Homo-oligomer: A and B are copies of this chain.
């Protein structure tokens, strides 16, 4: 087994995401160049959503199809290290489906790309079972996919997964953040753990023989059913929504960059993040990398809070008002009680738009 794929071995422990080998700024510069290269007049046809969680392709004046693609990052390597493959497909669907709802789309169909050196039946079946379970949770059908067996590209049973999801959205259900106003409530919905981001760092600071290592594989929570219920029963009530993925809480800024997000009543802590903090450089690095117990953040009018919280609770999701939208600054201010500190923490907006 070549060194590159020795997924259980740790060398020097990184303390930041950059030290773990992920250069977020360089990747952002690439995405910026990519957008310039790809720019075409036809892009004007797409519906604009500043959050950028999905591309929205119109099918009529009033309706459109939202589409998004994502992978599960190096959570794959955790699955490989633990030789457990029945949940990574849930993560794959979650990464795409939770993005769709952030623009107000009802998840519809999912396609998977599964590339591997050798299709090993038992493992492949487990991966697919996870994808199907994820689709069931999201209310989507697994409508197609591609299985590519490439023995010279992926060593042995090594593999990668990508997902593609489409959903339907109308002018009325579109979430574009334009109705967000100062005084609105910020609602947080609990994550199940680390979800599918920050794993390049986390799996290097938590050793394979650490009891917490298994927790890194806890599947990502899929927020589609409660969101879809709110879209259907209270269209427009959710003014902005952010799936907390790569970049951690900086994603909250994607809701609207015109405001400040004051978060002073965070959701209860999850032990995995306290475990991680003992290895990570700073509390700020934690909030810039991980979801910190909040997998989804939404903004609504104060009068809609109770109804939204009840819908999430009825469907088995822990949610609470975590703060308020303000207009006396732009950015995110956190009074950190998640990690046991009360020191305030300022986060500038991410350059993701």
Binding site for B on A (CB under 8 A): 2, 4-5, 7, 21-23, 26-27, 30-31, 33-34, 37-38, 40, 42-43, 45-46, 52, 54-55, 57, 59-60, 63, 65, 67-71, 73-74, 76-77, 108-109, 111-113, 115, 117, 119, 121, 124-125, 128-129, 131-132, 135-136, 141-153, 155-156, 158, 160, 162, 164, 166, 168, 200
Contacts and interface: CB of A to CB of B under 8 A. Distances in A.
A148 to B, nearest CB: 5
B164 A111 contact: yes
Contacts of A74: 150, 152-153
19 contacts: A27-B119, A27-B149, A31-B147, A34-B128, A34-B145, A37-B132, A40-B135, A40-B141, A52-B144, A54-B144, A59-B65, A65-B65, A65-B166, A69-B144, A71-B146, A73-B148, A73-B150, A113-B164, A151-B200
B70 A146 contact: yes
A43 B110 CA distance: 12
Contacts of A146: 69-71, 162
A162 B115 contact: yes
Q: Which residue, of A45, A109, A155, has the highest number of chain B Cβ atoms within 10 A? A: A109
Contacts of A128: 33-34, 37-38
Chain copies in the assembled complex: 2
A60 to B, nearest CB: 8
Given A38-B142, A160-B160, 19 more contacts: A21-B151, A30-B119, A30-B121, A33-B125, A33-B128, A34-B145, A37-B125, A38-B135, A43-B141, A45-B141, A55-B109, A55-B144, A59-B65, A67-B67, A69-B145, A69-B162, A69-B164, A71-B148, A113-B162
Given A57-B109, A200-B151, A143 B67 contact: yes
B143 A57 contact: yes
Main secondary structure of the interface of A (DSSP, over half): mixed
Contacts of A67: 67, 109, 111, 143-144, 164, 166
Nearest to A59: B59
Nearest to A163: B113
Contacts of A77: 152-153
A103 to B, nearest CB: 11
A166 B168 CA distance: 13
Contacts of A153: 74, 76-77, 158, 160
A257 B314 CA distance: 49
A2 B115 contact: no
A57 B166 contact: yes
Contacts of A43: 141, 143
A88 to B, nearest CB: 13
Nearest to A22: B149
Q: Which residue, of A40, A57, A117, has the highest number of chain B Cβ atoms within 10 A? A: A57
Contacts of A131: 38
Given A57-B143, A109-B55, A141-B42, A152 B71 contact: no
A30 B120 CA distance: 9
A93 B37 CA distance: 16
Given A109-B55, A162-B162, A166-B67, A152 B4 contact: yes
Contacts of A156: 4
A59 B168 contact: yes
Nearest to A44: B141
